[in-house]
């Protein structure tokens, strides 16, 4: 038996790349899978391949940027398989641009997919899981720490990290675990970016990332929640929430010059007046 035997999992953006790998690995590990992609023909192709391995699967072409359609995907999983045990929020857009060259329409489309998708799907999944527990795996990015020409994408994935931390706290009492992965793999996002394509490593295939997501979906990760996990196919890190650097400085009243002195001194080692 696989580690996901008897579980029902929904994967967004599963028509290609990482989402495809996540859906295939979850199915091979025993899960019934909803393969969602706005390109429904791709979703159907992936579903057909999984079905050929005698696994339970259904394809979905719902748009994850619409709250009603996001809820309909979760309902589809429950209707087809009796429940939803796991959600993988993978659908995403990416582009590179300097701030003065970026296009507001393109930025809005990116935010709609990268931020509203995990919010809307997560809300619907949490509602369905509330009485019986479950798992949400969001897909963030190492770019939450920033990268040139990636302000929109980095901001969107920073939002995913923040909602992961928050939802993990909200949902823990209901037996729902929420984590996020920051994967690095050779995918279409890299192919479409000349700089990334030049620096990327073709050996880091999506197939190498998928076992991490399956682990987080499984009962083997029962004690893991509220974590941001970065995985490059060969190197695993846990990215901690940003903390407040200690020690801090305390004054009863602050003027402009006081802030200047504090930063000039590196905010180190002194309390009270200086």
Angle between helices 17-28 and 206-217 (to 10 degrees): 50
Closest CA to 176 of 210, 226, 220, 139: 226
Q: Is the dihedral of CA 100, 156, 27, 48 positive or negative?
A: negative
Q: How far apart are CA 30 and CA 184, in angstroms?
A: 25
Name 151's Cβ contacts closer than 8 Å, sequence gap at least 6: 99, 102
153 catalytic, yes or no?
yes
In this structure, what token pair is assigned to residue 208? 């190498």
Beta strand 228-231 pairing with 236-239? antiparallel
In this structure, what token pair is assigned to residue 71? 């809820």
Q: End-to-end distance of the chain based on CA atoms, in angstroms?
A: 66
Closest CA to 226 of 158, 171, 153, 159: 171
In terms of C-beta density within 10 A (0-12 exposed, 13-18 middle, 19 or more buried), how is residue 152 classed? buried
- Catalytic residue (choose from 22, 81, 120, 153): 153
Catalytic residues: 153
């Amino acid at each position: 038996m696989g580690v996901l035997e008897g579980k029902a999992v929904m994967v967004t953006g599963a028509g290609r790349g990482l989402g495809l790998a996540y859906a295939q690995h979850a199915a091979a590990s025993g899960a019934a899978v909803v393969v969602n992609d706005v390109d429904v023909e791709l979703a159907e192709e992936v579903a057909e391949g999984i079905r050929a391995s005698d696994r339970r699967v259904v394809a979905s072409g719902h748009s994850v940027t619409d709250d009603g359609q996001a809820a309909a995907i979760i309902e589809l999983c429950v209707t087809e398989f009796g429940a939803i045990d796991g959600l993988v929020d993978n659908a995403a857009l990416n582009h590179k641009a300097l701030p003065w060259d970026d296009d507001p329409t393109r930025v809005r489309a990116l935010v709609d997919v990268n931020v509203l998708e995990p919010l809307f799907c997560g809300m619907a999944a949490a509602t369905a899981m509330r009485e019986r527990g479950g798992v949400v795996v969001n897909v963030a990015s190492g770019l939450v720490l920033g990268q040139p020409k990636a302000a929109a994408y980095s901001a969107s994935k920073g939002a995913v990290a923040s909602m992961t931390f928050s939802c993990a706290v909200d949902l823990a009492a209901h037996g729902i675990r929420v984590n996020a992965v920051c994967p690095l793999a050779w995918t279409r996002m890299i192919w479409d970016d000349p700089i990334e394509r030049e620096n990327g490593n073709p050996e880091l295939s999506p197939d190498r990332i998928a076992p991490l997501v399956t682990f987080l979906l499984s009962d083997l990760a029962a004690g893991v929640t509220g974590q941001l996990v970065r995985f490059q196919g060969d190197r695993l890190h846990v990215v901690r929430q940003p903390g407040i650097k200690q020690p801090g400085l305390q004054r009863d009243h602050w003027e402009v010059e006081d802030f200047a002195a504090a930063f000039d001194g590196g905010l180190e080692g002194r309390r009270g007046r200086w």
